[in-house]
Every structure is written in structure tokens, then in C-alpha cells.
């Protein structure tokens, strides 16, 4: 069950979103032309930052430049296929479960930590492919892996979006941070791939949970003009579900196991817009952020939000209907949906690579 949200937590979170918006305006003036959103964690910060861009100096001009071609109800206001500041939303969720019976079936021995790291590094390779023209990107192995996955699951609208996505030149990477492990893995993956994006890191608990090793690394990035940390009291959406994240994630462990020896790093993850009751709750969360950013009384909105959250008790994550033969579905404690396909279907996918 998602705990009730406190007014002070919401104010701190919305203040962080305002700082993100200001930073985006500044970076866009410096030639950065693409905002990378790793789903799921950064998506609610994106929505708060969009609300803040309506209020900060230069924000509305940046919104008019926004290229956001996704079929997401929350982004409907900005759903456009033109603009020179690109919104690149990609799946980075690495919450994966590999039961022992599947390990035996696939003769798979890699640890969960190594699989999680591989998923994040695969997503990083995928993101790097968008620094290429679409024609060159179409020859990238990690990009084509993702396109095959979208095709397999019937997500052809997203496949079209990514195949035609214009080249990015300078990336801004927006992420939420608890210990710093996930962000460090991704940023190191970028560096090892020959590229350093500018990182905006929204940090939980004012940095109290940051691993000292990553604190030093992030501080070094800031000193070199490659990052900014924004501290908040609580990232209230972290490791919940699409009711507060705005998006859900599906992870395909059997595909990862079947492809492990064919492509590395290896990840098989998709993101999906929130639907049903989860979308209703997220829309109310957005209304709370909007009122807080505007400096208006948001107590009626947060009361309604907490009422909606209390009604979500026992509600599992909702994902769109997928065109798949599914053997098993499990939801992790962090709300990511793991989908296990048959051995035949997983190996057939691997053979196409």
C-alpha cells in the first residue's frame, strides 16, 4: 500500500521540480536539445517540471519548443511531432526477478546484481543510439533489440516513434537518486560509451542516504559542469506504481536469459502510460503539484489524493493488453511487472537477433 502523502513532502518535491525547470531553461540556452527521461523514476519529476515551466522565466518558450510524440494522456497538451527540444522517454527499470525454476530451465547462472546492471547499461546503449541519425540508428544492435521487443509485444505506435525520432546532439539526463548506485551505473555507462550527458539528479532525504562513494563522484561531475544535484525531503513517488509514477514498466526475464549469450549488455524492458484507476490517481497527483507550484492552497487536492490512494489498497499494477503468450506474471515490491514467456517464444526471439 502506498503511504499517505504529507503536505511538507509535496511542497519539497514540487520545489525540486521548479529547480529542475529552471535548470532546463538554462541548459536549453546552452545548446542542449534533448531531455532523457529514464522510466519509471524520473517521469513524475518531468510532469512537475512541465507544470513549473509554465511559471518560470523562459519556461513557456521552452514548452513551445518541446518535441513530445508519445501517446500518453498526461502529455496530451504537448503531444506534437515538431520542435527542437526533444523529450526522449526510455525504459531503464531494472527490478527483475528470476525464480530458480527458470534458472534451471535456461541454465542461467548470472546474479541478480549483474542482470540489473546489464539492464541499465543496455538502456544506456539504447539512449546513445539516439545521438545518431535515424538511418544510422537503425543499424545499432541495441536499438534493433528494442524495436524487435516492441514489435513482439504489439507496441507498434512506440516503435514508429523511436524509428523516426530525430537525432539528438546534447543530452540532459534527469534522474531520481536514493543511494546513487543506479545513476552511477548509467552515467558510467555513458562515459564508457564515449559521451557525458549533463545530469540533473533529484536526491532523496536531502542526500542522507547517498553512498559516500557516489557523493564524491557526483560532486566531481558538478565541479566539471556536468551535473547538478537538487535535494528534496522525500521522492514521494519512488518505488511505488503508476498511480504516482505515471508510467508502468514490464520486464521480460525469460527474454533476457534467452538472449544473454547473444547480446551484451542485455535488457528487455518496456514502459507504458498509466491506465485506469492508476491514471486517475496520477492526474490528481499532477493537480496537487500544480497548486503547490502556483503557491495556492492544495490541501483539498492532497486530501482527495490520499483518499484515492487509500482506495488503491490491493490494486496491482495495470499494464496494457499485450499480444503475447504469457506463462507467468509477477510484480516486484517496487511495482515493476515481470512477464515470463514460454521457453519456445523466448528462444525464437533470440534467434531473430
Tens-digit pLDDT string for the chain (353 aa): 688 899 999 999 999 999 999 999 999 999 999 999 998 889 999 999 999 999 999 999 999 999 999 877 888 777 666 789 999 999 999 999 999 999 999 999 999 999 999 999 999 999 999 999 999 999 999 999 999 999 999 998 899 999 999 999 999 999 999 999 999 999 999 999 999 999 999 999 999 999 999 999 999 999 999 999 999 999 999 878 899 999 999 999 999 999 999 999 999 999 999 999 999 999 999 999 999 999 999 999 999 999 999 998 878 888 877 778 899 999 988 889 999 999 999 999 999 88
Q: Which residue has the cell 498526461?
A: 74
Q: Which of 250, 235, 236 is nearest to 335 (CA)?
A: 250
- Domain membership of residue 75 (yes or no) is yes
Q: Is residue 341 part of a domain?
A: yes
Count of residues in the chain = 353
Q: Which domain holds residue 148?
A: 7-352
Which position has the grid cell 491514471? 279
Is 2 among the domain residues? no
Largest CA distance in the chain: 58
Q: Does 170 map to a domain?
A: yes
pTM across the whole model: 0.95
Q: Is residue 160 part of a domain?
A: yes
In a domain, 142, yes or no: yes
Task: Give one DSSP letter per residue of 36-71, joined into a string.
Answer: EEEETTTHHHHHHHHHHHTTSTTHHHHHHTEEB---
Q: Give the number of domains in the chain.
A: 1
Residue 89's nearest CA partner among 168, 204, 198, 179 is 168
CB-neighbour burial class of residue 323 (10 A; exposed 0-12, middle 13-18, buried 19+) = exposed
> Does residue 197 lie in a domain region?
yes
Give 22-78 pLDDT, tens digit per residue: 999 999 999 999 999 998 889 999 999 999 999 999 999 999 999 999 877 888 777
| Burial of residue 145, with CB atoms counted within 10 A of its CB: 0-12 exposed, 13-18 middle, 19 or more buried | buried
Q: What is the DSSP letter of 230?
A: E
Q: Does 1 reside within a domain?
A: no
Amino acid at each position: 500500500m502506498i503511504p499517505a502523502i504529507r503536505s511538507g513532502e509535496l511542497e519539497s518535491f514540487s520545489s525540486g521540480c521548479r529547480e529542475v525547470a529552471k535548470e532546463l531553461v538554462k541548459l536549453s540556452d546552452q545548446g542542449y536539445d534533448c531531455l532523457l527521461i529514464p522510466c519509471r523514476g524520473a517521469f513524475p519529476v518531468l510532469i512537475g517540471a512541465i507544470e513549473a515551466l509554465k511559471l518560470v522565466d523562459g519556461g513557456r518558450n521552452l514548452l513551445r519548443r518541446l518535441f513530445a510524440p508519445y501517446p500518453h494522456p498526461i502529455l496530451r497538451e504537448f503531444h506534437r511531432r515538431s520542435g527542437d527540444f526533444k523529450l526522449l522517454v526510455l525504459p531503464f527499470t531494472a527490478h527483475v526477478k528470476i525464480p530458480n525454476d527458470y534458472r534451471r530451465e535456461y541454465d542461467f547462472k548470472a546474479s541478480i546484481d549483474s542482470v540489473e546492471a546489464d539492464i541499465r547499461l543496455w538502456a544506456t546503449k539504447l539512449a546513445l543510439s539516439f545521438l545518431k541519425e535515424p538511418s544510422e540508428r537503425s543499424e545499432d544492435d541495441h536499438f534493433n533489440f528494442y524495436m524487435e521487443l516492441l514489435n513482439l509485444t504489439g507496441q507498434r505506435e512506440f516503435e514508429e516513434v523511436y524509428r523516426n525520432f530525430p537525432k539528438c546532439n546534447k543530452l540532459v539526463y534527469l534522474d531520481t537518486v536514493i543511494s546513487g548506485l543506479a545513476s552511477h551505473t548509467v552515467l558510467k555507462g555513458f562515459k564508457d560509451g564515449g559521451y557525458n550527458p549533463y545530469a540533473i539528479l533529484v536526491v532523496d532525504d536531502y542526500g542522507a542516504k547517498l553512498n559516500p562513494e557516489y557523493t564524491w563522484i557526483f560532486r566531481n561531475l558538478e565541479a566539471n559542469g556536468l551535473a547538478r544535484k537538487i535535494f528534496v525531503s522525500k521522492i514521494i513517488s519512488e518505488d511505488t506504481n503508476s498511480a504516482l509514477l505515471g508510467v508502468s514498466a514490464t520486464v521480460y526475464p525469460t527474454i533476457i536469459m534467452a538472449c544473454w549469450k547473444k547480446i551484451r549488455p542485455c535488457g528487455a524492458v518496456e514502459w507504458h502510460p498509466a491506465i485506469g484507476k492508476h491514471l486517475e490517481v496520477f492526474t490528481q497527483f499532477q493537480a496537487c503539484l500544480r497548486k503547490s507550484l502556483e503557491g495556492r492552497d492544495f490541501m483539498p487536492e492532497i486530501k482527495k489524493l490520499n483518499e484515492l490512494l487509500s482506495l488503491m489498497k490491493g490494486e496491482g499494477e495495470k499494464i496494457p493488453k499485450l499480444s503475447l503468450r504469457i506463462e507467468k506474471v509477477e510484480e516486484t515490491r517496487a511495482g515493476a511487472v515481470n512477464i515470463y514467456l514460454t521457453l519456445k517464444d523466448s528462444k525464437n526471439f533470440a534467434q531473430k537477433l
